Structure 1
Amino acid sequence: MSSLRLRVSLEKEALKAIAGAFLAVLVGIGLSRFAYAPLFPAIIEAGWFDPGQAAYLGAANLAGYLLGAICGQRLVAYCSTATALRALMLLATLAFAASAFPLSFAWYFLWRLLSGLTGGALMVLAAPAALSQSPPALRGLVSGAVFTGVGLGIMLSGTLVPALLTQGLPATWFGLALLSLGATLASWTWWPRDRVPDSGEKTKPASNRRSILRGDMLAIYASYGLIAIGLVPHMVFLADFIARGLDQGIFIAGIYWAIFGLGALMGPLVSGRLADLMGFGTSLRCLLLLNIATVGLLCINHTIPALALSSLLAGAAVTGSVTLVLGQTRAHLSEPLLHGHAWSLATVTFALGQAASGYGFSWLFARSDGDFRLLFLIAAIALLLALAASRLSYHLHGKGEGSSA
């Protein structure tokens, strides 16, 4: 009877950690990043900032994400993981509220930077916290459940934010702050308590630091960074490509963006379930193969089925790839603290690829007189290289470094 009660208690703790991580990702990534897209034109039309300034404010979030990915793991050296997660979600809430006041460009830039920082740090800390509480056989499904928060944020960015904008920009930012505060308070007691390691465990991560820099891990990081490059054209240019590039207008572009959001919502759960059946690495490579085909398809085929399929699968890849790479790093490094450092490095690599390619694609787009097809072609090549790197990680891991993933 006592063992049954213990099992039920552990299951409850796992569910709470999963729900908390879901809300953290919703706030830190789903809303802090993607809610800015529909707010971008509204900020310009309201005269808060000119188009150039608004674009830099969007880029500030990506720069902050990179900083958060770098610093997130270091926060737990000064406080518990639960305390860090609560503080980060509160900071994200404060960033939403502060954005309701366009006091100056510097003020706004600071809060957009901090909103990105919370997203990067929450990505590094929240998902591993949930994964550490879940049964090994269900880690794919758990990872998927956590990252549906990103997909839900994309869906809300296309539905809730436009509805709030009818009440004005300040009301919209305050509405997002209230939503973020509600998620923060709801998850407050759901985070698992950190177990105090013994003296041997404390020295283990430092002594085994080289494990996170093994060949198979470096190949995973490279693959994840290349995936970020391959996904940027869809994340940044898809709506504009359909609206102006194909001359189909903003309304039709919005429909395809909703399909993209639907894919982002479904991607983690489908990818996670496949990972439980096929393995994380195999599932990731299958996802990459599908996306290489659909991203490349946009270079030659712009029919409704092609656009819809490409939008859906690209959305699924945005969130599904995060789910699968998180699980893949855990499969290669089972020790929780080492996995935390590895996931932090992977997130930094993704953030670097995303930020660099975001600016690079923008520069190329301007220099090529708006050649969208060139962007999608480069994206397909980046995804092909990501597939090769993922395959390399499989071979390196299989040669004496444990079971393949």
Structure 2
Amino acid sequence: MTRPDSALSQNLVPTALAGAIAMAVAMGFGRFSYTPILPGMMTGLGLTPADAGLIASANFVGYLAGAVLAGYGWAAGRERMVSLSALVATTVLLLAMGLTSSIALFSVIRFLAGVASAFTMIFTSAIVLSRGHATGNPHVQSVHFGGVGIGIAVSSLMVFLLPAEGFGLIANWQAAWFGGAVIALVGTVLVAVLLPSGAASGKSTEREKPLVWTRPLFVMTLTYGLFGFGYVITATFLVAMARQGASDHTVEFLAWLITGLSAAISVHLWRRAVPRLGIVGVYLAGLLVEAAGLILVVTLPSPYAPLIGGLLLGLTFIMVTAYGLQIGRALAPQSPRKALAFMTAAFGVGQIVGPLVAGWLAEGSGSFNAPTLVAAAVLLFCAILTGLEMRRIVAAAGA
């Protein structure tokens, strides 16, 4: 008899694939395709780092709003419908990004895209992860969150393959947004075919109990929010940083491609360390590795800096996101959806502040070194705080 953790059981394959595709569309394209497209927008439209940071922050404000709205229980029993609607919205909003050149409209569109990505992440995860948990199959989580990395890698390849001069009246950056919309549409159709209805427990229509804030849950939520600030600076500006020190677009393409490919396998790779370190220990290790990656981005010469930075970013940010949410759910067993929503909201706050601070510091200093070092310092603080509270968190979460 095959053990549950040896491979995906046959009935879970469509569910896991649906989760991966949904995450690729909503996160890989709906959120993170902004990163490889941004340099072209800055060149073609004359956007400053502060402008770019403002547009990015608008997306994260939307993500925060979506996470907060998701925590009120209105979607109980309707998770599948909300997830698919959010994916359709993501497709339309990707298309809309190529139809304007207004910073104000860019910000509005990215705000709405943030709401859509939060809804997809929270409600699709509620369906997919609950089914994996019910069967004791950790591969479901690996495949589900690995979709983000696949989306990032595909978006990088798409942008790289587009002609630099665009298509006549359509600029390169516009074509990239249109291409992303086409890919998102295909992904949405596939998710509609594959995604099952409701959580594995069959109790998705029941409202959860009020969330009880314990010290371990507060610490995890705080570090998770600060992690959002730290990682997003590199996730937003990595390709722009690569373009500053490169003679062609190959390095920026490779930096984001490496980020996506390493992110796609990161949860699976880090899972091998769980028996030795525990989930909380792996979460802590991820914070330290990502902080080290940020420091290397500043200290290594081009072209190695963005490539190493992309590798270490990809190897950690999906894993820290996934395991952070898993720990949060374990710390609130009576209200896991509410815990997931509040942690996602804290994450969103960090992401709002991160691009604004990074854009302001980069515009003032003329490089991204200062914001990158600030991000590294914040991640190190998160690691120290997690280490100090590790025993309490492990005891409370049973992890």
What interval of TM-score do these two structures reach, taking the shorter chain for normalisation? 0.7 to 0.9
Is structure 2 residue 354 aligned with structure 1 residue 357?
yes
Q: Where do 1:82-101 residues align within 5 Å?
A: 82-101=80-99
Q: Where do 1:4-403 residues align within 5 Å?
A: 11-43=9-41, 56-74=54-72, 76-77=74-75, 80-102=78-100, 107-135=105-133, 140-164=138-162, 166-167=166-167, 168=170, 172-189=176-193, 190-194=195-199, 197=203, 202=207, 205-206=209-210, 209-210=211-212, 213-244=213-244, 246=245, 250-275=249-274, 278-302=277-301, 308-335=307-334, 338-367=335-364, 369-370=365-366, 372-399=368-395, 401=396, 403=398
Indicate if the aligned counterparts of 2:77 and 2:204 stay in contact, CA closer than 8 A. no
- Cα gap change, 1:297 to 1:45, in 2 (>3 Å): closer
AA paired with 1:230? Answer: G
**Matches of 2:292 and 2:315, distance apart in 1:** 14
Which stretch of the first structure deviates more once superposed, 312-321 or 13-22? 13-22
Let me know the Cα RMSD of the aligned residues.
Answer: 3.3
SS in 1 for 2:132: coil
Residue by residue, what CA displacement relative to the aligned partner does 1:272-309 show, whole Å, maximum 9, x if unpaired?
44336643211111222223333234444437666643
Q: Structure 2: any 5+ residue segments left out of the alignment?
A: 3-7
Aligned length: 384
**Matches of 1:374 and 1:172, distance apart in 2:** 30
Residue by residue, what CA displacement relative to the aligned partner does 1:57-109 show, whole Å, maximum 9, x if unpaired?
44322222222222223364475111111111111122223334338665544
SS in 2 for 1:101: coil
Residue by residue, what CA displacement relative to the aligned partner does 1:243-263 show, whole Å, maximum 9, x if unpaired?
43x566654344333333332
- Cα gap change, 1:352 to 1:300, in 2 (>3 Å): same
Indicate if the aligned counterparts of 2:328 and 2:339 stay in contact, CA closer than 8 A. yes
- Cα gap change, 1:298 to 1:171, in 2 (>3 Å): closer
Indicate if the aligned counterparts of 2:71 and 2:338 stay in contact, CA closer than 8 A. yes
Q: Which has the higher helix share?
A: 1
Shift of 1:355: 1.3
**Matches of 2:368 and 2:96, distance apart in 1:** 36
Residue by residue, what CA displacement relative to the aligned partner does 1:23-52 show, whole Å, maximum 9, x if unpaired?
2211111001222233334446666x8657
Indicate if the aligned counterparts of 1:288 and 1:383 stay in contact, CA closer than 8 A. yes
Scaled by the length of structure 1, what TM-score is found? 0.82
- Cα gap change, 1:139 to 1:64, in 2 (>3 Å): farther
Shift of 1:55: 5.6
- Cα gap change, 1:254 to 1:177, in 2 (>3 Å): closer
Indicate if the aligned counterparts of 2:77 and 2:198 stay in contact, CA closer than 8 A. no
- Cα gap change, 1:354 to 1:283, in 2 (>3 Å): same
AA paired with 1:186? Answer: L
Indicate if the aligned counterparts of 1:131 and 1:142 stay in contact, CA closer than 8 A. yes
Residue by residue, what CA displacement relative to the aligned partner does 1:109-150 show, whole Å, maximum 9, x if unpaired?
433221121112222222232110014685543222112121
User: Who wins on radius of gyration, i.e. which is larger?
Assistant: 1
**Matches of 1:179 and 1:391, distance apart in 2:** 41
AA paired with 1:346? Answer: M
Shift of 1:374: 3.1
- Cα gap change, 1:115 to 1:315, in 2 (>3 Å): same
- Cα gap change, 1:393 to 1:184, in 2 (>3 Å): farther
Indicate if the aligned counterparts of 2:75 and 2:82 stay in contact, CA closer than 8 A. no
**Matches of 1:340 and 1:267, distance apart in 2:** 24
- Cα gap change, 1:397 to 1:258, in 2 (>3 Å): closer
SS in 2 for 1:225: helix
Indicate if the aligned counterparts of 1:13 and 1:192 stay in contact, CA closer than 8 A. no
Indicate if the aligned counterparts of 1:267 and 1:317 stay in contact, CA closer than 8 A. yes
AA paired with 1:342? Answer: A
Indicate if the aligned counterparts of 1:137 and 1:276 stay in contact, CA closer than 8 A. no
Residue by residue, what CA displacement relative to the aligned partner does 1:303-361 show, whole Å, maximum 9, x if unpaired?
766664333112222222112212222333344xx111111111111111111121112
- Cα gap change, 1:157 to 1:339, in 2 (>3 Å): same
**Matches of 1:374 and 1:106, distance apart in 2:** 27
- Counterpart in 1 of 2:5? none
- Cα gap change, 1:191 to 1:276, in 2 (>3 Å): farther
Which stretch of the first structure deviates more once superposed, 65-74 or 101-110? 101-110
